[in-house]
Amino acid sequence: RADRFRETDPEQALNILEEAESKVLASELPEVAVKPLTKAIVRSKAMTETSLKQRKPNIDLQKRNQLVKDDVKKEIEHKIRVEHDFAELVDQFNRLLDEHRYGEASVIAKKAKELNPTAPQAEAMLWKAKIAGRVYSNEDLKDAKEESFWKQLDDVEWALVVDVNDDKPMHYDAKRWSDLSKKRTKDKYGPSNRQKSPQEKEIERSLNRDVTLNFNEEPLQSVVQQLAEQMGINIHLDQSGLDEASVNPDTPISIHVEQIQLKSALNLMLEQYKLGYLIDNQVLKITSLSRRAGKMMVETYSVADLVIPIPNFGGPINTYGGSSGILSAGGSNGYITSNGAQRQPISGQAFAQIPDDFGMGLPQNGVGGRGSNGNAPPAPSRNDFDSLISLIVSTIEPASWDEVGGEGKIESIDQTLSLVIRQTQAVHEEIVDLL
């Protein structure tokens, strides 16, 4: 067996001979039988070692060649696998592009780049996905802009269709108007812009809830305590206010009412003792009427929808000729005329609803917010605060305003379209109801 490997693999042959020698020496054969075997093995080992020394350079070269062949084979197999996987990614990428799934295509392009960083196709896939996605997005944007522009012009055209006549008079949706009013006042600041604490909001809600009171000669302090527990709010007796009204916590209270708002019940119960209530320091305070009237509060009210005037359109459109203050539109040349006004040609439809001062204060030269010379003063405010202020001061406690010697004061802020009012809490409640 060792002789077979001597020419092809001397190292293997030498290993076989050493193993055979060990077995012979370890056997229990008699020395007469062992000695010839050992001698033959030693002779064969010498011949094998000589052959190994002669063939060692060739053997080393064969080993190196085999290692190189193995490395080349592995590299070729790796390249084949990479090219196969890369081709699958390219096919998947192209399919996603055809389906306009550009985000997913970009992910596949990044995977291809990681798989084969040196491939120019991978770099091209990245840019192709990015550019194709942007082009598709731009096309969508262009379509959306065109659709929006058409819709706006279409709405203008439909606005010219009069849907009101003798059989179908103009009416307003009560629910819609109610929703608009609630929308104006439902923000976290409520009717006033002053931010209120959760306790103050809960007290305001409690004052509008219905209660039933049946007290007969019950001490004031006991009545207040029961109301506080029933409504879940803090009610505080102002001792200084009670002393001022000559009332003490043990004053007997008698009242019998059913299902009326708490604020009305408190007014009925307290007015006979010259007492009142107000919300102060996150509690409902019971105090004297004079102290209540002397407690001034500053509130800010957003009144944009009440002070911006509705444009005066100058009367209906008369398509058969102009009379005083009436515009006429039509005719073969497309003119708009009014009584005593120069006839001016127009293109398209007669926008008779646009007021004469439309565009006042807008830029004339494409830049800036002033007139053509850039130095014209801004247009005066057309917001009608005066009418609203006059309504408030003439209908709500007229004698309490500073114009007639009172302490209440009201000012308008044109920048925020708001009213700043300094008044008592009772007056503020009436203002909230009015607005």
Tens of pLDDT along the chain (435 residues) come to: 555 555 566 666 777 777 777 776 777 777 677 677 777 777 777 777 777 777 777 777 777 888 888 888 888 888 888 888 889 999 999 999 898 888 899 999 998 888 888 888 888 998 999 899 899 999 999 999 999 999 999 999 998 888 888 888 877 788 887 787 677 655 544 456 667 788 988 998 999 999 999 999 999 999 999 999 999 999 999 999 999 889 999 999 999 999 999 999 999 999 889 999 988 889 999 999 888 887 888 888 888 878 887 766 555 544 444 444 444 444 444 444 444 444 444 433 333 333 444 444 444 444 444 344 445 455 555 788 999 999 999 999 999 898 888 889 999 998 888 899 998 888 888 888 887
What is the residue type of 332? S
| pLDDT reported for residue 361 | 41
Q: Give the phi and the psi of residue 373 in degrees, each rounded to 5.
A: -90, -5
- 3-class secondary-structure state, position 205: helix
* Residues 287/249, Cβ–Cβ less than 8 Å: no
Residue 30 DSSP code: -
How far, in Å, CA of 312 to CA of 414, rounded? 21
Which segments within 289-375 are labelled E, that is strand?
296-302, 328-330, 335-337, 344-345
How far, in Å, CA of 31 to CA of 59, rounded? 38
Q: Tokens at residue 334, please?
A: 């497309």
> What's the alpha-carbon Rg for the chain, to the nearest Å?
50
| pLDDT reported for residue 180 | 73
- For residue 275, the cross-strand partners are 288
Of the candidates 224, 234, 236, 237, the residue with the CA atom closest to the CA atom of residue 202: 234
Degrees, nearest 5: CA angle 238-239-240: 95
| pLDDT reported for residue 260 | 94
Write out the DSSP string of 357-426.
TTTTTS-SSSSSSS-TTS-PPPPPP---HHHHHHHHHHHS-GGGBGGGT-SBEEEEETTTTEEEEEEEHH
How far, in Å, CA of 151 to CA of 431, rounded? 41
Of the candidates 87, 86, 105, the residue with the CA atom closest to the CA atom of residue 95: 105
Q: Tokens at residue 20, please?
A: 């055979």
| pLDDT reported for residue 356 | 45
Identify the helix (H) or strand (E) that includes residue 248.
none
Domains, the chain, with CATH or none: 2-86 (no CATH), 198-294 (3.55.50.30), 304-308+383-434 (no CATH)
31-98 and 10-26 helices, crossing angle to 10°: 140
The string of pLDDT tens digits covering residues 305-317 is: 788 877 665 555 4
The string of pLDDT tens digits covering residues 250-271 is: 999 999 999 999 999 999 999 8
Residue with tokens 């009171």: 213
**CB burial class (10 A; 0-12, 13-18, 19+) of residue 77?**
exposed
* Residues 286/412, Cβ–Cβ less than 8 Å: no
How far, in Å, CA of 307 to CA of 387, rounded? 8
262-271 and 198-207 helices, crossing angle to 10°: 80
How far, in Å, CA of 348 to CA of 350, rounded? 7
- Torsional class of 257: left (φ above 0), alpha (ψ -120 to 50), beta (otherwise): beta
Give every CB contact of residue 349 below 8 A, 6+ residues apart in sequence: 160, 329
The string of pLDDT tens digits covering residues 106-120 is: 999 998 888 888 888
Of the candidates 154, 88, 94, the residue with the CA atom closest to the CA atom of residue 116: 88
**Strand 328-330 to strand 335-337: parallel, antiparallel, or no bridges (unpaired)?**
antiparallel
Q: Tokens at residue 43, please?
A: 């002779």
**CB burial class (10 A; 0-12, 13-18, 19+) of residue 430?**
middle
